[in-house]
Chains A and B, each alone.
Chain A
Amino acid sequence: MTDKNPEYDFKWCPGCGDFGVRRALEQALQKYIIDTEIPIENNVIVAGIGCSGNMVHLLEGQQPFGIHGLHGRTLPIAMGIKSSRPDLNVTVVAGDGDFLSIGMEHIAPQAQRNLDVCVIVMDNAVYGLTKGQSSPTSHEGMITSSTPYGKMEDAVNPLKLYLTLGVSHVASALSSKIKDLSQMIYDAMKYPGFAIVHVQSPCTEYNNTYEQLKGNVKKGIQPMAWSLPEDHNPESVSDAQNIVDRDGIPLGLIYQAKDRTSFSKRVEETTSSMNGKSAEDIITLYSV
């Protein structure tokens, strides 16, 4: 969306965490195009379906290219863009339902490839756009419109999942801490590999967790979110494992693989540096 588009009538609810993510993404993108001198038109935002997916229409300022695709399929679309055009900076924006439920099957292959895209997952632990059903990150027992007697399965721990699947760069953030988030998104864009910034982005309508995340001294609510210890070493797998095994929401760069070759680099080193035959030469191979 360039300027105001009166026809486009989608709105995030007041207080939606996605506003903060948008601001952080705009700032990170701005800094990225200035620092890298990669022009805005060489940036592509791939969005999933759900409230978070509307990010691609709601960005203000200079407009990157965008795809608003299918539910769950952000990653393979991003893979197609990045593998055909390694010169483009590809950023994925998706929600927890899109990314961790219907789209779960696509995380592992990108992790193994070390696909060089930056992923921002907006996690509100609920399906907002379809009005409040349970999601993979909804906690066990949670009452939602699709779990009227309480959710029967455990919540997935996305950070632990990413580490297990071999994601190279894993960060965790809050949507309300825009400055920190913006830096994390920028770092993930710059990281030459598969980078996920998992953001707690509460839904004020169906699962308002601002208070639980930040805590409330007056009500005696302990904050779920906590900062990483000073001595945390993100290049250490065991440090990272230790962090994601603890309860609550850790904030910061949890893991970053060092010297792991990105997918674009692997392709470049394996097949795109080869001398391909011309169509004529290939056809001539079949001459009788």
Chain B
Amino acid sequence: MNKSDFVVRFAGEGGQGFMTAAIGLAAANTQSGYHAQTFATFPSQITGGPTWMQVRISTDTVLSRGDELDVLVVFNEEAYSIHKDEVRNGGVIIYDSDGMDLEGGESLGIPFDKLAKSTGNSRSANMVVMGALAGLIGIPQSILEEFVKRRWSNTARYGETIVPTNIHALTLGREAASSSGFEIGELNPPQKPNYEQIFVDGNQAICLGAVASGVQFYCGYPISPATTILIWMEKNLVGKGKFAYQVSSEIEAITSLIGAGYAGTKAMSATAGPGFSLMSEGLGMAWMAEIPLVIVNVQRGGPATGLPTKTEQSDLLNAINPAHGDVSLPVIAPGTVEECFYGTVQAFNWAETYQGPVVLLSEHSLSEKQQNIPKPNLETLEVQNRILYEGKNGYQRYEPGEISPMPIPGGPGSYVANASEHDGIGDTTHLSERHIQMTNRRFRKLESLMDSPYEHDKIDADVAIMPWGGSKGPAKEAYEKLLIDGKDIGWFYTMFLNPINPTLLEELRNKKLVLVPELNYLGQFASVLRSQGVNAEPITQYTGLPFKVKDLVQRISSRLAELENRRSAS
């Protein structure tokens, strides 16, 4: 039996080394034309704890992490009892037969460490497991050998011995799997894409998008799951005119960005919920004083300290309205790793265009999800820059038109960028007519952001589903299954959540019902849509994990059945 995709999970303390190898395996498979996606969840501690990572390898683009496991690799008995029920019928559980003794016909014991030691390299146990996996699903040995050579040939200390011993370990694992008699179906051969690819996680894609947009200034404070962006920036955003730096708090981060954006540079910070809350007042100032900047909020779970290493989509309302007073911040929520790149580019373009703060709303499940995506073409990428003021002094920076050229220190048109209500030149004012004029001005600027793209499919259906952010993948997969099941349902999606393209809104208002799968309790995006005249209803989940496709299919189907019953009854 041939398969189009394959899901393996590694679980248990002490499995980290295997997980690193698993990422390598995924990357190696993308080289041969497979598509791969990884998903990981860790406890908020440095080592140990109930950790697991999942890799899905497919002949087609991977939309979600995969509901059912073809193979579960466990490193202790606790992991076995937690995860064993997620293995599909006919799947295999691989365990270390040296340290554990599992009952049951579907488990395959391999003495990882013993086989590793026999190669002369006791640290090659992860390669034994890789070899076994490759054997079970029929991945050619050459792909793995190529990966081992690329990964370790340049390792000065061990390169000479590590490559042959690792290849030996791969072979031993493969032989152990083959001789076991287990079969789970071979993976179809890959179709090599005719375009270049990169293999990145969501946070890396955000960093690459920022660099492609010409980011010059980055300040941040360590916070899960956004820390990797800070670390990446400090490593890579170097050279003349570039600045990346760890500051003392998120309050310092947002206010230093205000200074940098005001001084004419493209500035960004990344944080998560707690840090985003601390940025509240600063975001209000950037809106008020009209300072371009980009804040990435990689959402985690819960209010306050919440669930630092779990995923949730519960910061949407806060992202749109993070500060006191009348504000409505532009929000872009990428739904895939690839959209993390293009969403970041658009966030900078929006910030520069309307001259104000933009929130890029990512989430934990995207931040650590690694995936192969087409390599962005920088030559065709549209990067926008703010219009600079080049006139004389005495400029009314906040007066003319809706979006006025921005003066930059060192150039003409000195003014006061003012967080208090102000007149044209930035002097503080309390006049009602001025407050009305400036409030209108700030909101009218959003009109320049309303032509954003969106997806729609089966627009004649009465009911549509419209996920947002990282729920896009599982919802898309569920939608495709629902269509195969013959359900009459439409599809809408956009990563541009505020402001929403008015044409899209009009289409949504014409639906009898729009179902919004989202990972929060309140049904936040459904509530945003309802406030704009759409009959939206959320499908919520707040487990700290992404949706499973089968759950969405079941919940949407039963909601459709309810509607059908009601219709027949009336």
Contacts and interface: CB of A to CB of B under 8 A. Distances in A.
Q: Do A and B form a real pair?
A: yes
Interface of A: 1-2, 5, 7-10, 40-44, 46, 54, 56-57, 63-70, 73, 76-85, 87-88, 105-106, 108-109, 267, 271-277, 279-280, 282-284, 286-288
B375 A287 contact: yes
B262 interface: yes
A83 B255 contact: no
A5 B409 contact: no
B260 A69 contact: no
Given A66-B414, A76-B251, A81-B263, A274 B197 contact: no
Contacts of A78: 259
B239 interface: yes
B448 to A, nearest CB: 24
Interface stretch (B100-108, B294-302, B425-433, B503-511): B425-433
Contacts of A7: 423, 427, 429, 431, 434
> What's the dominant secondary structure at chain B's contact region?
mixed
Nearest to A64: B414
B405 to A, nearest CB: 15
A124 to B, nearest CB: 20
B243 A271 contact: yes
Interface stretch (B37-45, B66-74, B211-219, B549-557): B211-219
A66 B375 contact: no
Contacts of B257: 80
A73 B281 CA distance: 10
Interface in B406-425: 407, 409-412, 414-420, 423, 425
B262 A271 contact: no
A1 B423 CA distance: 10
Contacts of A280: 378
A79 B414 contact: no
Contact of B428 (A8, A67, A282, A288): A8
B248 to A, nearest CB: 4
A44 B219 CA distance: 21
Contacts of B417: 66-69
6 contacts: A7-B427, A70-B255, A70-B281, A83-B245, A84-B217, A286-B204
Interface hub of B198, B199, B245, B252 (most chain A Cβ within 10 A): B252
B265 to A, nearest CB: 4
A113 to B, nearest CB: 9
Given A68-B420, A276-B236, 14 more contacts: A41-B411, A44-B409, A54-B428, A67-B289, A69-B258, A70-B281, A76-B251, A80-B256, A81-B259, A106-B252, A279-B378, A283-B198, A283-B211, A288-B31
Given A41-B414, A42-B409, A54-B428, A288 B281 contact: no
Interface of B: 27, 30-31, 196-200, 204, 208, 211-212, 214, 216-217, 219, 236-245, 247-249, 251-252, 255-265, 267, 281-282, 285, 289, 372, 375-376, 378, 393-394, 407, 409-412, 414-420, 423, 425-431, 434
A281 to B, nearest CB: 10
* Top 8 A-B residue pairs of the complex, sorted by shortest distance between their CB atoms: A80-B259, A276-B239, A80-B256, A66-B416, A84-B260, A286-B198, A81-B259, A76-B255
A109 B419 contact: no
Contacts of B412: 41
Nearest to A273: B240
B252 A79 contact: yes
A57 B416 contact: yes
B217 A83 contact: yes
A288 B431 contact: no
A10 B418 CA distance: 14
A280 B305 CA distance: 37
Contacts of A271: 238-239, 242-244
B212 A283 contact: yes
B263 A80 contact: yes
Contacts of B420: 68
A286 B267 CA distance: 24
A68 B397 CA distance: 15
A27 B500 CA distance: 51
Contacts of A267: 243
Contacts of A272: 238-243
Contact of B423 (A5, A43, A70, A273): A5
Given A64-B414, A283-B378, A287-B196, A83 B260 contact: yes
Among B199, B242, B409, B410, find the residue whose CB has the most chain A CB atoms closer than 10 A: B409
A78 B289 CA distance: 15
Contacts of A279: 208, 211-212, 214, 378
Given A271-B238, A272-B242, A84 B216 contact: yes
A54 B239 CA distance: 37
A109 B247 contact: yes
B414 A68 contact: no
A288 B427 contact: no
B409 A41 contact: yes
Given A84-B267, A85-B263, A276-B242, A2 B394 contact: yes
